[in-house]
Structure formats: structure tokens, C-alpha cells
Chains A and B, each alone.
Chain A
Amino acid sequence: MLSKQQARAFFLGGTLVTFLIFIGLTIYSFSDGNDQTNYENITEQVVRGKVIWEENNCMGCHTILGEGAYYAPELTKVIERRGEGYVKAVLMTPVPWAPNDRKMVAYGFSEEEAMDVIAFFNWIGEIDLNGFDRIVSPLAKDKQLTNN
């Protein structure tokens, strides 16, 4: 029968081994050749867009890369789906945008800020998402089918 010492060794040993593998896999997935995060295409404008994204807690309603609050649309392929003009209008409007009666906060961004957010969306749209991009955006899905 298992003794308390053996049980403790199982816990400590198992934890240490899995954590080391976890660190190893983290290093592996960010190493050259395996990294698919689209990091090389980040510009200062994209970073400014990300800051605006965070400062206004956009994730508190929308989702991006499938993460967020499921109250407002997924924005991973939003530029491809809606076009820059539409997105810019939503970001800059001084009255709450309310398609189908669900209101968005009226942020009234300046044109420059809106373009920063759009640059951020464009950068997000180029990431290799292991197939999720095709599921999340009907437009992207159609494009994929035509290519095949």
C-alpha cells in the first residue's frame, strides 16, 4: 500500500517534472521557426492600438483571438469582415453605436486613435490561429473555400 512518503514524492516529483516540461514547451513555441505570433509585423501604431484596446477594456464586451466577454462580436477578422470605413465610424461616433439595440460605449476617438486600433486589428488578422480564423469569420471561411 502507498505510504505517505511515496504520496509526497509523487506530488513533488510530478509537479517538478510537468512544470519543467511546461517551461520547455514555452521556450519551444516562442523560438525561431516555431513562433507563429506574427511578432515581426508589430509596429508602433499596433502597440498604440493595443494600449487603447486595453485602456478601454474592449475585452469586457467583445472577444479577440476568442477571448473576452461574448457580449459583442469577435473582432479577430473584423477588418476583413466589415472594412476599415465601418470600423472607423464605430470608433469615432459621438453617440452610442447600437446595432440590433445592443449599445456600445460611444468612445468618440480621434481619427489617429481610430487608425491605431485599426492597425491593431489588421495585425491580429494576420496571425496564424491554427484554423480558428476560418471558423470565426464567415468571410475568411469563404475565402478559404475559394482557394481550395
Chain B
Amino acid sequence: MKYKSQKVAYWFFALSMLLLVLQITYGFIMGFARIGMDGLHEFIPFNTARAVHTNLLVVWLLSGFMGAAYYIIPEEAQRELVSVKLAYVQLISLAAVGVAAIVGYHFNWWEGRKFLEIPRQLDYLVVLNVLLFLALILLTLFKGKRKTTTALVLTMGLLFAALLYIPGMLPFDSQVTDSFFRWWVVHLWVEGVWELIMGGILAFLLIKLTGVDREVIEKWLYVIVGLTFLSGVLGTGHHYYYIGVNKIWLIVGGIFSALEPLAFLAMALFAVNMYRKGEKKHPNKIALFWTLGAAIVSFVGAGLLGFAHTLPQTNLYTHGTLVTAMHGHLAFWGAYAMIVLAIISYSLPNMTGRKFYDGVRGRVAFWTANIGMIGMTMAFGVAGVAQVYLERKFGMEFMAVQKEISIHFVVLIICASLFAVGILTYIYDFYKHGRPTDEALETVESTYL
């Protein structure tokens, strides 16, 4: 850690960890409901659990991204954050809005639009919160001694993510238009601007962990985010095949979605090659695991498994089935959850001064969580494919099919338990690092860039 204000990041990461535990808890509630154990139905019906599960994901990832920005931007701009106090105000208000939204979901207070369930009144508070965050980051960046590509790409991602929230707040009478512009937020976030954020964090980590020249890493960063946008923006079309808009999207979405895995492949090859090229290896092996893991698992989860159902001919049968849940879980895990866990693993020893660089706990957490998540993905995949054939090909009733496939949810719960053990181990390791301290200033960083 080079600047005292970087410590703010710790508390954003701590909030992330807390929300992640809650997200997993609600995931279990849904998993058990699917095998008929729905004792909580009266208090937490499936739609509440589902809204809480997906919104917590978004909030803990955003909190992780914000923490990453508070850690990375001072170091890249070579100055302290413009205001640490306001950063804490932003943290507390983010947590308050998040908690209000989640409590509200238990009392039927929501918008009922997939992924964007937050009620309109709270939307405005989210906007205020994000504006405060952006102001702090942008001011720090522009007052800083240098403006690196890594910092610019990360900031651009955060800025566009905020701008793209607006189409989701427009009111529409038509379900079709509503859905159309909802994907401007959701798709262009996860397959667009969030990848700028991911790319920015990945570049920062690779510079620190491999010792490869910044110019080389940042040049390839541009190429990768360029490929992401080239395929991802028009790839939005894969959400428009069967929701009631023109057939032109079948062609456009089909072609550009097929290109999307290439961007993820490029990212995976980039990360692995930089690691191979690097001569000055950082001793923080756990951070390296998560960093390379993020690049590789995002290629499998977002790239390959996404492509598995984005061709219009396939999607005609898989649209609206559990096949989507299969892709969704590994994609979010690989691309976003793992990169947040990577930056936490890297920055935590630097903020606290405790160098658990290659501990058993860290390795157990990495492998258990990953094996658990891959198992979950497979369970969803088998259930989804069976659902497609039984329901869509053989015309069986929805609930009859659900009974047939419920065994795969038993497997899902077993794998999810393994995953949860991995995450709890990670969090225990987080806790064992202790609190951030000014004594940790410059202890590690001086030797590495």
C-alpha cells in the first residue's frame, strides 16, 4: 500500500463479503424450494429469494468494484484520495440503500423487472450514491500525477456503468419495449462496460503480479476491451430474438454473439501469456490463482457456455429455461466474482501488513469454491437440457418436467455446499488478515513497481 487513503477499500471489500454470504443463503432457500422443501414460503417466497439473490450479487460486485477503484486509483494517479470522509459516506449510503432494497423485497416493495427490481424511489438514491463515488474517483484521477491507461479504462467502465443505468429507469407501457431497454442496462453492463472494469482490474493485477512492462499490458488491454465492445454491443441482439422485436436481431445477434467468446479467449490468452512472460514474480500466489482463474473461468462460463445457447436455432428451444441459469452462474463467477476476489487477495496483505501469500486456507478456498461452482453449473446444465427436451420437444407440462428434474437440484445443493465451504474459508482468511493499518505502508510495494 502506498497511500493511506487506499485503506477505504478494505471496508468496501468487507461489505462485499457480508453480502456474498447473504446471497449464498438466499440461493440455498431457492435450491431447497426446488426440491419441495419450501417451509419459508410464507415469509420468503421464491420470487423474494430470487430478487434478493440476484440483487445481492449486483450490490456485492459493485461494492467490490468500488473498493477496487479506491485501492487502484490512488496508486495509479500517485496521490491520496481527494476525500476519505466522503468515501466512507458513500460506503455507508451504499450499504443503507442496499439493505433498504432487500428488506423491501420481503414486503412486496419492488419493481418486478428481472435484475432491476430496486423500486424507483431507491433508484434515485443509487444514482446519487454512484455520482458521489464517481466524483471522488474522477477528481483523484485528474488531480493525480499521472493518468495511466489502466486507471482510465477502469474509470471509463465505472462511468459508463452509471450512465447505462438510466435506460432502466425509463417507464414503458409495453412489456416488449420495457424488456428491450432493460437489456440495455443488464446486457451492456455485463457484456460491455463491466468488462472494462474487469479489464482494468486485471491489467492492474498483471502489472503488479507478473512484472511485465506496463506499456505491453496496457496495449493488449485496449485490444481486449476493443474486441469486447465490437462483439458485445451488437451481441445484445441475442436477448431480442424471441421477445417480440424484428427478425433483424436474429441475424445481427447470431453473428456478433458468435464472436463474443473470442474476446474472452483473448483475455484468457493475454493473462496466461503475461504470466509466462513475467520475470519478476510477486510472491502473492493466491492473488495470482484468482487472477488467472478469473481470466480462464470467464472464458469457459461467459464465452463458451454463453455461445452454447446464443445461436438463434438453439436459443429458440433454450430461451426461458434453466440452461440460462447454467451459463449465468459460471459467467458471473468467472468474470466478476473471481476478479473481485483476486483484487481482494492482492490488496489485503498490502493493507493489513499480514502476508498470507501462499497459505493452505487460501488454496483450499480457491479450489473448493471453484470445484463447487463447476459442479453447480453442471447440475443446472443437466437440468436445463432435460427441461428443454421434455418440455419443448415432447410437450410435457411444466410441473411434470420439474418433478422429473428435481434430482438435479439435490446435486446442485451438494455442490453449492462445497462452494459455500470454499467461500467461508475465503472469508475466514479475510478475517484472519486483521484490520488495515498505516504501518503497512510501502512494506511490499517498494520492491514491485
Contact A129 B242 (CB under 8 A): yes
- Given the known inter-chain contacts A69-B47, A132-B242, please indicate yes or no for A11 contacting B234, CB distance below 8 A: no
Give Cα A102 to B63, complex, Å. 35
What are 24 A-B contacts with C-beta separation under 8 Å?
A: A4-B222, A8-B149, A11-B225, A14-B229, A19-B233, A25-B237, A28-B246, A29-B240, A34-B248, A38-B176, A42-B173, A59-B47, A59-B113, A60-B117, A65-B320, A66-B320, A72-B398, A103-B45, A105-B45, A127-B176, A130-B247, A131-B316, A132-B241, A136-B320
Residues of A close to B45: CB separation below 8 A: 61, 103, 105
A147 within 8 A of B: no
Residue of B nearest to A11 (CB): B226
Contact A36 B222 (CB under 8 A): no
B280 within 8 A of A: no
Residues of A close to B252: CB separation below 8 A: 25
Contact A15 B175 (CB under 8 A): no
- Given the known inter-chain contacts A7-B220, A37-B177, A58-B47, please indicate yes or no for A28 contacting B244, CB distance below 8 A: no
Contact A36 B48 (CB under 8 A): no
Which 5 residue pairs spanning A and B have beta carbons closest together?
A60-B47, A66-B320, A132-B242, A11-B226, A57-B112
Which residues of B373-402 have CB atoms within 8 Å of chain A's CB atoms? Answer: 387, 392, 395, 398-400, 402
Contact A18 B230 (CB under 8 A): yes
- Given the known inter-chain contacts A4-B218, A67-B179, A71-B46, please indicate yes or no for A42 contacting B174, CB distance below 8 A: yes
Which residues of B109-165 have CB atoms within 8 Å of chain A's CB atoms? Answer: 110-114, 117, 149
A10 within 8 A of B: yes
Residue of A nearest to B178 (CB): A50
Chain B interface SS verdict (over half): helix
Residues of B close to A99: CB separation below 8 A: 399
Residues of B close to A72: CB separation below 8 A: 46, 398
| Highest count of chain B CB atoms <10 Å: which of A30, A47, A67, A141 | A67
Give Cα A36 to B215, complex, Å. 49
Contact B250 A64 (CB under 8 A): no
Give Cα A64 to B48, complex, Å. 18
Contact B219 A36 (CB under 8 A): no
A128 within 8 A of B: yes
Which residues of B216-262 have CB atoms within 8 Å of chain A's CB atoms? Answer: 218-220, 222-223, 225-227, 229-230, 233-234, 236-237, 240-250, 252
Contact A18 B320 (CB under 8 A): no
Give Cα A53 to B179, complex, Å. 13
Residue of A nearest to B172 (CB): A50
| Highest count of chain A CB atoms <10 Å: which of B34, B229, B252, B322 | B229
B347 within 8 A of A: no
- Given the known inter-chain contacts A28-B246, A65-B243, A105-B45, please indicate yes or no for A10 contacting B233, CB distance below 8 A: no
